[in-house]
A and B are shown apart, each in its own frame.
Chain A
Amino acid sequence: MSAPATEAALAEAIADAYAAKEPVLVQGAGTKHGMLRPVQAARSLSTRNLSGITLYAPKELVISARAGTPITEIKAALAEHGQHLTAEPPDLSDLLGVPGNQTLGGIVATNLSGPRRIVAGAMRDQILGIRAVDGTGEIFHSGGRVLKNVTGLDLCKLLSGSHGTLGIMTEITLKILPAPEQTGTLVIPGLDATAAVATLSAALGSPYGVSGAAWLPPDAAARIPELAGFNASVALMRIEEFAASVTYRTARLAQDLQPHGRAELLGDTISRSVWRSVRDVTPLTVEPGEAVWRVSVRPSAGPGILAATGLRGFLDWGGGLVWLVGDPASHPAVTAAATAAKGIWTLMHAPDSLRASADVIPPEPPVLAAIGRRVKAVMDPAGILNPGRMAAGA
């Protein structure tokens, strides 16, 4: 595996592969190796040596770092100034079974966001600028280092979530925000999924700025030590604010939610730990041979996805994000349920036999697929970047 230490060297490596028409497996720390489809490539390249924060202006709410910078390094730098990554990106290394220190480039290329997605936007929404290398070895940039920018076509959005198939990001500039002073969580135990989503919806429709809304069935709740004592399902609602506001808002919200059940308040430390678990999907364990799906639907459709598939799972994003784990043979049932609910699905992880043979994301309708092929041809004319990662033959 080559791991160039400069953008120029990376560009050269890609230009070389392009000349040889040889596919390249592109990765950061490799923690998302198990996501989507396996990539067959003669060469492999890691951004891990392109590391380090290149600009941090706390008062301008921006940070830039090379793509291979570990997320932990960025978080630590931000924490020193009381700031944080707004989209709350998860660490799925336990879930995906590949330990490691995930990189900024990896989290942007997979556009993974945590519970705060519902109020703060996705990872892609935080991307202000990128530098990248395309599939011919050409370096380009898009966006910049200012919070607002509508100059030309937004390639930052195009590359976010493109799983390294359109270009290799070498440097990324993010919008960041102050970290909240305190976190509080209301728990209402014992609700079924439908009643819970109605509750979460009421909370998210309140004026109190709920920044996390999840529901865990009893078995998933039992796997979070701080919640095991409830011996029941839990609906979780988070408020992140200045301390006095957390006190005030949780009290008001608990009162407003009385028709839905009696809410208990979790304090700051416990709250942070619980939401870290939700973020990293630790309430679910994956047995060898099992598959993991992530379904995004309108929130009210979440419970139906759990019921229709009968898999182990839980709900985040007020019901709109459904995590599922179970028998790979359920793949058609998951995709059918998500499609029927007009939502989308991602096969996050599965045995290679399924990953290599099935669609791992919804296939695009022909017109869009044709546009997609033309866009791919602009960015990676020889099709050498992570071939097959998102779809067979693409």
Chain B
Amino acid sequence: MLALPEPKADILARRDEIVAGLRAILPASGVITEPLRLKPYETDGLPAYRQIPLAVALPETTEQVAAVLKLCHSIGVRVIPRGAGTSLSGGATPLADAVVLGLMRMNRILEIDYADRCATVQAGVTNIGITQAVAGNGFFYAPDPSSQLACMIGGNVGMNSGGAHCLKYGVTANNLLGLTAVTIEGDILHLGGNHLDAAGYDWLGLITGSEGMLVVVTEVMVRILRGPEGARAMLAAFRSNEIAGQCVDAIIGSGIIPVALEFMDRPAIHACEAFAHAGYPLDAEAMLIIEVEGSVAEQDDLLDRIKRLCEPFEPLSMRVSQSPEESLAIWKGRKGAFGAVGRISPDYMCMDGTIPTSRLPEVLRRIGEMSDQYGLKVANIFHAGDGNLHPLVMFDANDPDSFHRAEAFGADILKLCVEVGGCLTGEHGVGLEKRDLMRFQFSEPELERQRRLKDAFDPAWLLNPAKVFPLQDKPRQAA
């Protein structure tokens, strides 16, 4: 169990004053203080950790965000920026003495420009909301986290989120043009714009993925892309993880970059099939979902090439989707994988590490051994093209021992990822969950350098202070 810093008694004592200050800035409905209404904000996508915050502030404009931050800064109140609260690493977990700054009321699309292929939206617009706004013209916003119905673009910037299609289209950082953001002092920054690249330092790049620790994002300028003529998925089932991994290598090595290349192991196939009825091959040890784009003839050609590349690996079955509905069903299983595992286990923890793809068979074997050792089941989903592994560790939160074993199992998986040359997180962020594991990937001086970069933005460590860096003997976080 990870510790949260002690609340500051002096801040708790000034709660009424802080709330009055917030009420002076925001409409009455924008300040939440009643325990029952604070409850929904006590946790995020890592529900093992819960903490009722001091108050929740829900601004509607950048100026209100600036005023709230100025107030909090003047008193020394910690601030937890929050989008939809779907972070799986506990990035939006509150602190008892902190104001949760929720961006969900900033949910307007401000500008769409098809000729220049960009859109400006407020931070609380959902990820899917951007694509829906431009889909009528055949455009889309590329990064597509499985949580895209709920998660917000501000949160996506916070975590530099990815999705199943980022092998071809990149992650959040690769699809941003600019940000409006507010510093902890309440100063408004305009970074980038509707043009490409910066002439000076790449602040946009540094802030993307900074997990709410550097600034609060209020508006985001994104690139929108014209969609392809069409897309189609196929399934290929294999006798072992090892063989499926070799097949992934063969596809990438051939020069074809499918728009998505997803790997599921046997437990994941079974869980997802029970949920989606997509016709997943239940006899297989491993399965690939491979999606290609283009005209129908181009899809046929690419899928033919891929089938020929798969054949030497003696697939148990290969099935090319025959209709858009079938492709949707194939994806429904994959995108619903977390929920599907949720149906077969009371609770699950979604891990997120990356590994060099060549190490996949070995890593899956060792995860299997750990699963036996900890007595917990695990299902593995893998963005195979880019080495991003999502083991879903199943446990029972009502059983403290089961939870502790799950945490230890998860930590061992992530250490294994680092050991084989990968990293602690591919797209979910460090947050609270992986905070103490950072020592496995970075030396103490390297961590200190990153902390000092946070100092440069937030000298008093008021913005999301208990995340990303190990807490121990760090006066900045404990103070």
Q: How far is the CA of A121 from the CA of B118 in the complex (A)?
A: 15
Contact with A along B187-228 (1 / 0, CB 8 A): 101110111111111111110111000000000000000111
Q: How far is the CA of A173 from the CA of B155 in the complex (A)?
A: 27
Are the CB atoms of B449 and A248 closer together than 8 Å? no
Q: Among residues 167 to 215 in chain A, which have CB atoms less than 8 Å away from a CB atom of chain B? A: 177-179, 181, 198, 201, 204-209
Q: Is A297 in the interface zone, CB < 8 Å from B?
A: yes
Q: How far is the CA of A153 from the CA of B204 in the complex (A)?
A: 12
Are the CB atoms of A150 and B422 closer together than 8 Å? no
Of A218-226, A260-268, A371-379, the one contacting chain B is A371-379
Are the CB atoms of B116 and A298 closer together than 8 Å? yes
Give 19 new A-B contacts, CB below 8 A, not counting A205-B139, A244-B301, A362-B199: A111-B197, A148-B386, A148-B387, A148-B427, A150-B427, A151-B423, A151-B441, A152-B430, A152-B450, A155-B453, A161-B201, A205-B114, A244-B298, A248-B298, A299-B116, A300-B116, A345-B199, A362-B200, A367-B189
Q: Is A343 in the interface zone, CB < 8 Å from B?
A: yes
A-B contact pairs, 11 of them (CB 8 A): A142-B446, A146-B388, A146-B421, A147-B386, A149-B425, A152-B441, A154-B160, A157-B204, A181-B255, A371-B183, A372-B200
With a cutoff of 8 Å between Cβ atoms, the chain B residues found around residue A142 in the complex are: 446
| Residue from the list B196, B210, B294 in contact with A153, Cβ < 8 A | B210
Q: How far is the CA of A146 from the CA of B441 in the complex (A)?
A: 13
- Which 7 pairs between the two chains have the least Cβ-Cβ distance? A157-B205, A374-B456, A178-B255, A147-B386, A361-B199, A148-B426, A146-B354
Q: How far is the CA of A62 from the CA of B468 in the complex (A)?
A: 26
With a cutoff of 8 Å between Cβ atoms, the chain B residues found around residue A320 in the complex are: 116, 195-196
Q: Among residues 427 to 447 in chain B, which have CB atoms less than 8 Å away from a CB atom of chain A? A: 427-430, 434, 438, 441-443, 445-447
Q: Is A138 in the interface zone, CB < 8 Å from B?
A: yes
Given the contacts A205-B114, A205-B117, A342-B195, A151 and B210 also touching, CB distance less than 8 Å: no
Q: How far is the CA of A189 from the CA of B257 in the complex (A)?
A: 34
| Residue from the list A125, A140, A144, A364 in contact with B445, Cβ < 8 A | A140
Are the CB atoms of A60 and B423 closer together than 8 Å? no
* Residue on A nearest B459 in the bound complex, by CB: A374
Q: Among residues 46 to 88 in chain B, which have CB atoms less than 8 Å away from a CB atom of chain A? A: none
Q: How far is the CA of A138 from the CA of B443 in the complex (A)?
A: 12
With a cutoff of 8 Å between Cβ atoms, the chain A residues found around residue B372 in the complex are: none
| Residue from the list B173, B228, B298 in contact with A157, Cβ < 8 A | B173
Q: Is B138 in the interface zone, CB < 8 Å from A?
A: yes
Given the contacts A150-B209, A151-B423, A367-B187, A145 and B202 also touching, CB distance less than 8 Å: no
Are the CB atoms of B202 and A150 closer together than 8 Å? no
Q: Among residues 101 to 151 in chain A, which have CB atoms less than 8 Å away from a CB atom of chain B? A: 111, 113, 117-118, 121-122, 124-125, 134, 138, 140-142, 144-151
Given the contacts A151-B424, A298-B194, A378 and B201 also touching, CB distance less than 8 Å: no
Q: Among residues 270 to 316 in chain A, which have CB atoms less than 8 Å away from a CB atom of chain B? A: 296-300
Are the CB atoms of A153 and B450 closer together than 8 Å? yes
With a cutoff of 8 Å between Cβ atoms, the chain A residues found around residue B430 in the complex are: 150-152
Are the CB atoms of B159 and A150 closer together than 8 Å? yes
With a cutoff of 8 Å between Cβ atoms, the chain A residues found around residue B358 in the complex are: 57, 59-60
Are the CB atoms of B298 and A146 closer together than 8 Å? no
Given the contacts A146-B386, A148-B387, A154-B208, A344 and B201 also touching, CB distance less than 8 Å: no
Q: How far is the CA of A146 from the CA of B253 in the complex (A)?
A: 16
Q: Is A242 in the interface zone, CB < 8 Å from B?
A: yes
Are the CB atoms of B387 and A342 closer together than 8 Å? no
We find that the number of chain B residues with CB closer than 8 angstroms to chain A is 93
* Residue on A nearest B249 in the bound complex, by CB: A59
With a cutoff of 8 Å between Cβ atoms, the chain B residues found around residue A41 in the complex are: none
CB distance from A372 to the nearest CB of B (A): 6
Are the CB atoms of A375 and B453 closer together than 8 Å? yes
CB distance from B219 to the nearest CB of A (A): 14
With a cutoff of 8 Å between Cβ atoms, the chain B residues found around residue A206 in the complex are: 226
With a cutoff of 8 Å between Cβ atoms, the chain B residues found around residue A146 in the complex are: 354-356, 386-388, 421-423, 426
| Residue from the list B171, B199, B205, B354 in contact with A124, Cβ < 8 A | B205
Q: Among residues 166 to 200 in chain B, which have CB atoms less than 8 Å away from a CB atom of chain A? A: 166-167, 170-171, 173-174, 183, 185, 187, 189-191, 193-200
Q: How far is the CA of A60 from the CA of B116 in the complex (A)?
A: 33
CB distance from A141 to the nearest CB of B (A): 7
CB distance from B403 to the nearest CB of A (A): 24
Q: Among residues 277 to 300 in chain B, which have CB atoms less than 8 Å away from a CB atom of chain A? A: 294-295, 297-298
* Residue on A nearest B438 in the bound complex, by CB: A152
Are the CB atoms of A245 and B115 closer together than 8 Å? no
Q: Is A368 in the interface zone, CB < 8 Å from B?
A: yes
Q: Is B327 in the interface zone, CB < 8 Å from A?
A: no
Given the contacts A154-B205, A344-B195, A378 and B354 also touching, CB distance less than 8 Å: no
With a cutoff of 8 Å between Cβ atoms, the chain B residues found around residue A111 in the complex are: 197, 202
CB distance from B215 to the nearest CB of A (A): 9
Q: Among residues 406 to 424 in chain B, which have CB atoms less than 8 Å away from a CB atom of chain A? A: 421-424
Q: Is A49 in the interface zone, CB < 8 Å from B?
A: no
With a cutoff of 8 Å between Cβ atoms, the chain A residues found around residue B183 in the complex are: 367, 371
